[in-house]
Amino acid sequence: MFYSGTTYFGYTEREVKEVFTALYPRLCAYVNGVTGRGDLADDIIQEIFYKFLKRRPCLDRAKVPAYLFSMAHNECLNWLRQNKIQIGRASCRER
């Protein structure tokens, strides 16, 4: 595979692609399991990778998957909270 050598917030393109490729299917399954909405997986995973790369945590490579799953869990909870509020408002308007 061709890598351009581009860096993303201090991580090489190769490092980002390796982590993303390795964890994407499992993160999708996790997000789908928590939210019950498979269509949200891409959006949530994109958001957590962006935040992860932007924050540039100094982590051992072995801890990166756990960190990303924690981020995914928190993003799912945020979505569930926001969705509950929106559903609650919609049902109040229907009455």
Count of C-beta atoms within a 10 Å radius of residue 45: 21
Alpha carbon distance 48, 44 (integer Å): 6
Q: How high is the pLDDT of residue 29?
A: 95
* Alpha-carbon Rg for the chain in angstroms: 16
Alpha carbon distance 44, 73 (integer Å): 10
Task: Give residue 2's pLDDT band: very low, low, confident or very high (50, 70, 90).
Answer: very low
Q: How high is the pLDDT of residue 86?
A: 59
Report pTM. 0.74
pLDDT tens-digit readout, 38-53: 888 999 999 998 888 8
Helix (H) or strand (E) holding 12: strand 11-12
The identity of residue 88, as a single letter, is: G
Residue 86 Cα distances to 11, 38, 73, angstroms: 37, 19, 20
Tell whether the model's pLDDT for residue 70 goes beyond 90: yes
pLDDT tens-digit readout, 22-33: 999 999 999 999
Mean pLDDT for the chain overall: 80
